[in-house]
Amino acid sequence: MEGADAQVDVTNAESVATATTNAVAAHRRIDILVNNAGILRDALLVKVKDGDLIGSLSDADFDAVISVNLRGVFVCTRAVSPVMIKQGSGRILNASSVVGLYGNFGQTNYVATKAAVIGMTKVWARELGPKGITVNAVAPGFIGTEMVRQMPEKILAAMVERTPIRRLGETKDVAYAYLFLASDEASFINGAVLSVDGGVVVGT
């Protein structure tokens, strides 16, 4: 099995366990885990018009985002950390978001997961640090992914306006943050949240 070709359902503990076993069989160790799977199901908590409730964030959309963005991080870290403990080293990198720090309109479910990922990062930094494993989070801001660039020009302009550097981030900006935290140069960084957001403060 080639690791790059493996498809894993992060919400399924058996799928994650199989992938972990296969990775160890192929490479004899796991040095880096990047918990990056995520989905969006945006909606207002409640939508009211003329005093009447006309919509709300559904249970299904809340649960779906929690399952992938939060439970998936837990399931993958629980599966991989024993391998890292056995080898006495490892880097665990969790994808949070600027909205996990500041909140964001219409993203109750997504923000909840990204804030919780920061909390889990700090817990695991304490628990796994003595085992030679560092655990850190990256909190990207507005990044010019293919999905983001398909948004209306007005929204893109608003994103840029709220970013002091006055541009969207590039995927390589986030990749370099992960690369640094995974490197030997970051060996004394543990439990940190690295914002890669151009200085943005959501809501300003």
Pairing of strands 133-140, 46-49: unpaired
Structural domain includes residue 11:
no
Query: Distance between CA 9 and CA 2 in Å, rounded?
Result: 17
Q: Is residue 4 part of a domain?
A: no
The CATH number for 100's domain is 3.40.50.720
Task: Establish if 7 belongs to a structural domain.
Answer: no
Q: Domain tally for the chain?
A: 1
List per-residue pLDDT tens for the chain, 204 residues long.
344 567 899 999 999 999 999 999 999 999 999 999 999 999 999 999 999 999 999 999 999 999 999 999 999 999 999 999 999 999 999 999 999 999 988 999 999 999 999 999 999 999 999 999 999 999 999 898 887 787 888 888 888 988 899 999 999 999 999 999 999 999 999 999 999 999 987 655
Q: Does a structural domain hold residue 202? A: no
**pTM over the 0.85 mark:** yes
Residue 98 domain flag: yes
> Per the domain annotation, does 23 fall within a domain?
no
| Residue 142 resides in a domain | yes
Closest alpha carbon to 139 in 104, 108, 99, 107: 99
102 is known as an active-site residue = no
Annotated active-site residue in 102, 110, 176, 178: 110
The answer to whether residue 24 sits within a structural domain is: no
List the domain range (segments joined by +) for residue 46.
30-196
Q: Return the closest-CA partner of residue 78 out of 36, 113, 128.
A: 128
